[in-house]
Structure formats: C-alpha cells, structure tokens
Amino acid sequence: MKRSYTPYLLLLPFFVIMALILVSIWNVLLQSLGYIPAFGLTTLTLDYYKAVFQQEEFLSALEVSLRIALQSALLATMLGVLLCYALVKRGHSKGELLYLVRLPILMPHAVVAVFVISLFSQTGLFARIAYMLGFIIDFNQFPALLYTENYGAAIAAYLWKEIPFVAYFVLALMSSISSTLGEAAENLGASPWRSFFQITLPLSLPAALKAFLIIFIFAFGGYELPFLLGTTVPKALPVQAYMAYTSPELRDRPYAMAMNGVILFLSLAMALLYALLTRKLLKQTGGRE
C-alpha cells in the first residue's frame, strides 16, 4: 500500500519551495563573494565583507538593527506572556476579547506605521494629550521618537503588533498548564503570583522562547517599519543593504550582498542558539520530572 516513493511525491511542492530558498541563499553568498560575471567580476574574495565591516554606516546600521530586534523581542515577549496570563486567568482564552487581541496580528506593517505616526509624532495625539494635561507646554518637550536615531517609533510599532502575537502564540500551552498544574499549586496554598512564577511561567518558556526567536529574526530583517519611521543616518541594516542594492553603480552590488550575508548569518546563528537553548531546557525539565 504505502509505496516508498509516495512521501517524496507528496513533498514535491515542498522541495520546490526549499530549492527556491537555497537558490536565493546561493545567489546572495556568491554575489557577496564578488562573483558577478555580468559586471566583469569573476574572482571570489572576502574583500567585500572586510570592506563593509570597515564602513561606519554599516556598523551603525548593524547596531541599530540589533537594538531594534533585541528591544522589541525582549519587551514583546515579556509583556506578551503577561498579557497571555491575564487572558488565561480572566477566562478569555476564547471569545470576543481574543478576537480583539488577534487584531494587531492581522494588521499590515505599513498600516501600523500610519498608527504610530498619528500617535507618537511630536504633534501627534499623545503629545496633544500631554499638553492638555499640562505635562508639556510646547511640543518640543515631547520626546522625539519618529525619524530619530533612537528608532523609538519603529520599536513601538513592533510592540503593538508583537505583544498580541506572543500572547496568542503562548496561549494554548499556558492555558493547559494553568488550568492543571497552576491551579493545583494554588489549591495547595501557593499564592497566585508564586504559582505563576514557579509553575506556569517556567513551563510556558519553550513557547515564549520560540516566539522570541521569531520576533527577533523578523524585526532584525524587517524593512517597512524602519524605512517608514526611521532616520537617514543611521539606517536599519536591511534598509542600508537595499540602498546599496539600488545604487546605480553596479559594482556596489557585492557590498549589498555582503550586508545581506551578514543578516543571514546572524539570523541563522540566532536560530542555532535557540536550538541549543531549548535542548538544554528540555533536558532540565526532563531531569526534574
């Protein structure tokens, strides 16, 4: 019945997708090593990587992107887990409120950029409210988050989208843990917070870690938000790479691809770190049981 080639047949479309990704990675790496025969570049060299690591623009872009990714992933994971717990404990793991929480996940990034502009600019709604309440007497006193080096607006936009994402992502696991083990602990006399920090949180950690990884890589490689909300110098790394890619000077392309190569390496390194961490985590919890 089950002929041995059936699974491979079923996987055919999947293999096509894989092949496309591998071709793309291959193209990026080859061009980053300076191999573009159409432009007369035929020697493989690491010079382009060396060169970008000496560019101040690249280094500051790398720093900006790492910072955006780290800050938004950390905050989103922590606040998202808390939101998830609130949903579980207040009995909202199903129903209307959950639809509301899922809303930001569905929002396109470009639209979220519009939200952030209308709320967080120095003449935005929050600045106006602060003025009405007498916190500031001039819009200049409102912290500049848009189009500045701190990339506050881009981080705010990611948080708006990703906190609900984390909550939704962790929800299934946490609600099953909380309803069984968490409540058992509370019945045995543990305070609600103690039961959260000692039982529910540690056991939900694998899902939270995975959410962290997804957000980190997404924000690290994200284009729209830093492009629409960021400043001219420094740019986020994908924006910087795309700028080099769009340079009409064709011989700049290997630099663009070297930047893409760096994005790729760091994303994969992050995933590897995650894999090691979960393995360790699994061993620990496995050992305890």
Residues 47-76 that bind another protein (CB under 8 A): none
241 CB contacts (<8 Å, ≥6 apart)? 256, 259, 260, 263
278 binds another protein (CB under 8 A): no
160 binds another protein (CB under 8 A): yes
Distance CA 45, CA 30 (A): 10
234 binds another protein (CB under 8 A): no
- Find the binder of another protein among 268, 273, 276, 282 (CB under 8 A): 268
42 binds another protein (CB under 8 A): no
Residue 2's CB is within 10 A of a number of other CB atoms, namely 5
Measured from the CB atom, the residue of 133 and 287 that comes closer to another protein is: 133
- Find the binder of another protein among 49, 85, 212, 255 (CB under 8 A): 85
190 binds another protein (CB under 8 A): no
Distance CA 194, CA 210 (A): 24
CA 268 vs. chain centroid, Å, equals: 13
100 CB contacts (<8 Å, ≥6 apart)? none
Strands annotated E in the chain: none
273 binds another protein (CB under 8 A): no
Residue 248: asked if its preceding bond is cis (omega within 30°), the reply is no
In 55-108, where does DSSP find H-type helix?
56-89, 96-106
- Find the binder of another protein among 52, 64, 87, 199 (CB under 8 A): 87
Length of the chain in terms of residues written: 289
- The span of 51-59, 175-183, 211-219, 277-285 binding another protein (CB under 8 A) equals 211-219
- The span of 13-21, 44-52, 198-206, 279-287 binding another protein (CB under 8 A) equals 13-21
- Find the binder of another protein among 68, 174, 217, 258 (CB under 8 A): 217
- Contacts of 239-247 with C-beta under 8 Å, sequence gap 24+, read 239/61, 240/57, 240/58, 240/61
Torsion (CA) 126, 132, 133, 134 in degrees, nearest 10: 110
33 binds another protein (CB under 8 A): no
Instruction: In angstroms, give the least distance from the CB of 57 to another protein.
Output: 13
260 binds another protein (CB under 8 A): yes
38 binds another protein (CB under 8 A): yes
Torsion (CA) 211, 216, 221, 224 in degrees, nearest 10: 80
98 binds another protein (CB under 8 A): no
Instruction: In angstroms, give the least distance from the CB of 286 to another protein.
Output: 20
- The span of 3-11, 44-52, 70-78, 280-288 binding another protein (CB under 8 A) equals 3-11
Strands annotated E in 164-280: none
Using CB under 8 A as the binding criterion, the count of chain residues that bind another protein stands at 99
Instruction: In angstroms, give the least distance from the CB of 66 to another protein.
Output: 13
**Site map 115..144 versus another protein, x via CB under 8 A:** xxxxx-xxx-x-xxx-xx------xx---x
Measured from the CB atom, the residue of 136 and 181 that comes closer to another protein is: 136
